[in-house]
């Protein structure tokens, strides 16, 4: 299984960009990288996913390195409501599409 | 589209009792997943369905746990003879998948969860 490694926690100042790193050195060529977040006592919320190219949507940007062994989620202007646990997940090819969550990064956005 | 709905949101029960949780997925979604989450941990995969067929069960799903999706729409997760270790948040998610087992992208939409406390 492709596993991911994330820092346990990070702080970010409100209004600044939050850059959340993730290592996935054993990823296979056809496996997607997904990012979800979970605000306290809520279900996980989908943010973005990508395969090889960088991706951007209304919530965030995803930068994947050329060798695909790591990625960075960027929240361009973090707000207090972005305080959450952020999960980087590699979708296992040919295993039912289930997401295997790790411990995630606890992001605290501070005023 | 009202998202993924889970009921009840909270359940307190005594050890040894049976409990059942219900999940109503997004209507056009053919895949449905159950996860369990304990305090401070990420969600753990339990099982998933494609339409009414249960395609995979985790080793976490002991024989006291049973999940059904009888008509390929809503699903139930029943826990028999609950134990204190069953106390957790039970999360349901759904997705639309066109492939049976071989995947590219598969975006799961989660419900708010059902919190179980076993006394």
Q: Which of B36, B43, B56, B114 should we substitute to test contact with A (largest number of A Cβ atoms within 10 Å)?
A: B43
Q: Residues of A with CB below 8 A from B29's CB?
A: none
CB atoms within 10 A of CB B23: 26
Residue A30's nearest CA partner among B72, B103, B77 is B103
Q: Chain A contact for B103, CB < 8 A?
A: yes
Q: What is the rounded CA–CA span in Å between residue B63 and residue B65?
A: 5
Q: A106 to chain B: nearest residue by CA?
A: B40
* 111 residues of chain A, pLDDT tens digit each: 558 999 999 999 999 999 999 999 988 878 889 999 999 889 999 999 998 889 999 999 999 999 999 999 999 999 999 999 999 998 876 667 788 898 899 999 999
Distances (CA, A) of B75 to A86, B28, B39, B112: 27, 14, 24, 15
Per-residue pLDDT of chain B (119 residues; tens, 9 = 90+): 579 999 999 999 999 999 999 999 999 899 999 999 999 899 999 999 999 999 999 998 889 999 999 988 999 999 999 999 999 999 999 998 765 444 556 789 999 999 999 99
Q: Quote the CA–CA distance of A42 and A107 in Å, as a whole number.
A: 15
How many Å apart are CA B115 and CA B119, to the nearest integer? 13
> What is the model's pLDDT at position B99?
58
The answer to whether B105 contacts A49, with C-beta atoms less than 8 Å apart, is yes
Taking an 8 Å cut-off on Cβ atoms, the answer to whether A43 and B56 are in contact is no
């Amino acid at each position: 299984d492709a596993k991911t490694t994330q820092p346990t926690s990070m702080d970010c100042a409100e209004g600044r960009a939050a850059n959340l790193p993730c290592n996935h050195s054993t990823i296979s060529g056809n496996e997607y990288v997904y990012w979800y977040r979970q605000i306290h006592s809520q279900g996980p919320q989908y943010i973005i996913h990508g395969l090889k190219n960088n991706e951007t949507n209304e919530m965030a940007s995803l930068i994947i390195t050329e060798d695909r062994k790591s990625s960075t989620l960027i929240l361009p202007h973090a707000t207090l409501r972005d305080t959450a646990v952020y999960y980087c997940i590699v979708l296992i090819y040919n295993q039912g599409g289930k997401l295997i969550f790790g411990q995630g990064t606890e992001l605290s956005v501070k005023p | 589209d009202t998202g993924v709905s889970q009921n009840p949101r909270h359940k307190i029960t005594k050890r040894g009792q049976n409990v059942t949780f219900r999940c109503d997925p997004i209507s056009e979604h053919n895949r449905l997943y159950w996860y369990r989450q304990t305090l401070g941990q990420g969600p753990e995969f339990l099982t998933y369905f494609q339409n009414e067929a249960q395609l995979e069960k985790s080793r976490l799903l002991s024989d006291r746990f049973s999940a059904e999706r009888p008509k390929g729409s809503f699903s139930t997760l029943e826990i028999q003879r609950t134990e204190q270790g069953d106390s957790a948040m039970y999360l349901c998610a759904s997705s639309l998948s066109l492939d049976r087992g071989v995947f590219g992208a598969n975006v799961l939409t989660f419900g708010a969860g059902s919190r179980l406390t076993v006394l």
